[in-house]
């Protein structure tokens, strides 16, 4: 069983507005990300949200997703990953760590990671484009306790650095694996792409 953890607790400081609710092609960004995950071979979807998450819950009303609250959204991304890992079912074998602000995410990015994970036995699988590492990251839950108790200063990059022999890189012809949305400039550029489609 593979579970997705969509990280949606960030405070959008650089954007200056709740970026996960910004519309892209007429739908909130977070709904687009959740749609992509739901279309993939993932078995369950968890969203890690902050205490003030009414807008995100409304944007995903009626969808087959579950929520876990990170009570300290001002902390770094690793904090949200840890809250998500604590919530997962014991039946979960791996967690797909998804950025809530990755607008170009598709099942065509996620499913190759899952296939490589199942075929290779590697515990850490991530996409690359042009040799650069991107998102999302598929993590075997053999590393759950390690993540919960280590890497405070380095986050999941520290996990990857600690286990280079367990990393499988999946090269994809999709620049979206490198793209997220942090600033108003990012949003206007990406939104413009949707208008021209």
Distance from C-alpha of 183 to C-alpha of 141, rounded to nearest angstrom: 33
pTM over 0.75: yes
Q: How far is CA 61 from the centre of its chain?
A: 19
Counted domains in the chain: 1
Q: What is the CATH number for 11?
A: 3.90.550.10
User: Could you tell me the residue range of the domain that residue 110 belongs to?
Assistant: 2-195
Distance from C-alpha of 68 to C-alpha of 18, rounded to nearest angstrom: 18
pLDDT digits (tens, 9 = 90+) for 34-83: 999 999 999 999 999 999 888 999 999 988 899 999 999 888 899 999 99
**pLDDT value at residue 196:** 41
Task: Summarize the confidence of residues 174-189 as an average pLDDT.
Answer: 83
């Amino acid at each position: 069983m593979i579970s997705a953890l969509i990280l949606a607790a960030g405070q959008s400081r650089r954007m200056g507005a709740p970026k996960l609710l910004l519309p892209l092609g007429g739908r909130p960004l977070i709904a687009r990300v959740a749609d992509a995950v739901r279309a993939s071979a993932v078995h369950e979807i968890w969203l890690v949200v902050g205490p003030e998450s009414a807008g995100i819950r409304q944007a995903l009303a009626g969808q087959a997703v579950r929520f876990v609250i990170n009570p300290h959204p001002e902390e770094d991304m690793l904090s949200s990953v840890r809250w998500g890992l604590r919530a997962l079912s014991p039946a979960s074998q791996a967690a797909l760590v998804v950025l809530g602000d990755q607008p170009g995410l598709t099942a065509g990015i996620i499913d190759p990671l899952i296939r490589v994970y199942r075929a290779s036995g590697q515990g850490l699988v991530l996409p690359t484009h042009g040799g650069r590492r991107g998102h999302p990251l598929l993590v075997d839950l053999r590393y759950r306790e390690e993540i919960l108790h280590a890497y405070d200063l380095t986050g999941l990059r520290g996990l990857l650095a600690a286990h280079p022999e367990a990393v499988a890189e999946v090269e994809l012809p999709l620049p979206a694996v490198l793209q997220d949305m942090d600033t108003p400039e990012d949003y206007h550029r990406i939104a413009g792409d949707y208008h021209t489609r």
